[in-house]
Amino acid sequence: MNEMKRRTIRAPVNPLDKSTVVSIFPKKLPPEYKPTIQPGVFQIPYGTYDNPGVLVVGPSSWWKDIDENQPLLEIPQSSIQVADSICRDWMNGIYGVDMGENVPGVFYIPGEWTADRIKKEKRAELDEAKRKQDNWYKYLVGAADSMWARSNGNPLSISDTMRLAAQELNLGTTKEWVKDAERVELVRCKACGSLKNPLYPICPNCKAIDDPERAKILGLTFAQ
């Protein structure tokens, strides 16, 4: 009998309590797990500014343990609380995100919405999401430029999201680091053995001139 009291059985759910998570972030993301609530598995959709992805969510619940002689107390969370948690918990801590003006284009709106209706009636929200996402992209591109220079062109210093940012800002043809890292086969420095980009003659680790012939081709001269 005591085990029956401890079961997590949800009360009837309000069918009108719906919110919609909207995404214009063009990257497939893994499912987001929230083990403390039920339902607790959510998939932020792939989307673009022209074709936003949508995820309609309802309320979830968690249970409070009062004592072993009483049933678990259900604490309902509205769809707005759930949608806010899906958006904020995922992006909080991502590199370059300040949770203000530099964030991925993922947001939520109360109610159940389709992509077509959002494009017609929520254009201002889409524009605002794109502006903030572009701000974040610009930050990532600037950080990638710095990392590329500091690592002496090591492609492993550039994340896939940084490459995506450059492509979304139409900078793909102007940034040398916008390429698949697998296309650049790293070699080991002859002096220290660390991996380096073969296109650059100087080892970023030990600063040795690893490839004098390429240094000549590039017109590099070094102080004696």
- Residue 132: closest CA among 106, 168, 94: 106
Does the pLDDT value for residue 183 go beyond 60?
no
3-state secondary structure of 63: strand
Query: Which run of H or of E encompasses 117?
Result: helix 115-121
Its pTM stands at 0.76
Mean predicted confidence (pLDDT) in 61-79: 86
Whole-Å CA distances, 7 to 40, 58, 61, 63, 78: 17, 22, 13, 10, 21
Beta-strand relationship, 195-196 and 187-188? antiparallel
The 10s digit of each residue's pLDDT in 97-118 is 999 999 999 999 999 999 999 9
Domain range list for the chain:
2-122, 131-217
The 10s digit of each residue's pLDDT in 170-179 is 998 889 888 6
> What is the C-alpha separation between 75 and 133, in angstroms, rounded?
34
Does the pLDDT value for residue 182 go beyond 50?
no
Higher local confidence (pLDDT), 163 or 71: 163
Encoded tokens for 129: 């999401």
Q: What percent of the chain has pLDDT over 90?
A: 58
Does the pLDDT value for residue 181 go beyond 80?
no
- Residue 134: closest CA among 180, 167, 95: 167
